Amino acid sequence: MSVSAANPVSQTSYDKNHESYDKFRPGYTEETVSTVVEVCKLSEKSHVVEVAAGTGKFTGELVKVTNARITAVEPSTGMLESFRKNFPNIEAIQASSFAIPLPDACADAIIVAQGFHWFATHESLAEFARILKPGGVLCCVWNYEDFDALSKDSWQYRTVKLCHGLDKNVPQYNHMNWPKAFDNQPWFAPYKEVKFPYEKSIPSREFYWNLWRTRSYLTALDPSELEKVHDQFEKIMDESLSKEEIQPDGSFNAKRGGHVIWATRN
């Protein structure tokens, strides 16, 4: 399968909003990154293939803590533009998860940050197994909204529910369909997982809205529909974000989590 096999909503949206994505999407906690390095057994001798590398949000965290060789794979032209600007010395290839132009058994680890739900299929796993060395590790990472820590009348719960209500027709982490990819397949051992709840500071209401606007399903809306969502968003924030939650600098905290899963190639 070719680059065109990448989900068209994700590819089109991220071609459009790659600069906003790079500016507003959050990074990853030290605990999350160190877990990835540990389970992938990364060293300066390791070759890591980062699939759906995007603008390099996870790459930036990775290069701080390891000297492993990284090859980035990304189907979106826009995302690659930002990635190459951010990391001109890292090899970056335009390709989908279904057809990665790398040799068999060339990688010690494959890392997918905030993207596996877009291509959680046996076809992708077969391709990952092809380029991984026997015993190599596939590691997937997500930031997620920590609903278990939220009351249903909180600003975070209500805004997330509003925006998640628009993602019905696109693959998303929160749909929890991605684990099915690991069912009835011969390439990987059952995956292991760990979650790390944390609080994330959001600089302002405007920043928070712009963060949501980087989601593919909001990017895909026509301007009039997006304006309606924005109006609902602002109404929720007016009703639910209390003055006590806002810091003197205008920031406020969201309850989030880091989710890491990993599976060893058979």
Percent of the chain past pLDDT 90, that is, above it, reads: 89
Q: What is the 3-state secondary structure (H, E, C) of 35-71?
A: HHHHHCCCCCCCEEEEECCCCCHHHHHHHHHCCCEEE
pLDDT, tens digit, 9 for 90 and up, residues 175-195: 999 999 999 999 999 999 999
* Range scoring the smallest mean pLDDT among 13-22, 133-142, 207-216: 13-22
Return d(Cα 4, Cα 75) in angstroms, integer: 8
HSE-CB at 261 with a 13 A cutoff on CA atoms is 18
Place of tokens 């299929």: 121
Region 66-78: mean pLDDT is 96
Domains of the chain listed by start with CATH number:
3-147+171-201+254-264 (3.40.50.150)
Q: Are 181 and 115 in contact (CB under 8 A)?
A: no
- Give residue 17's pLDDT band: very low, low, confident or very high (50, 70, 90): confident
Structure tokens at 164: 């998640």
Check residue 3 and give its pLDDT: 37
What is the pTM (predicted TM-score) of this model? Answer: 0.93
Return d(Cα 153, Cα 162) in angstroms, integer: 12
Is the pLDDT higher at 4 or at 199? 199
Check residue 5 and give its pLDDT: 59
Check residue 192 and give its pLDDT: 98
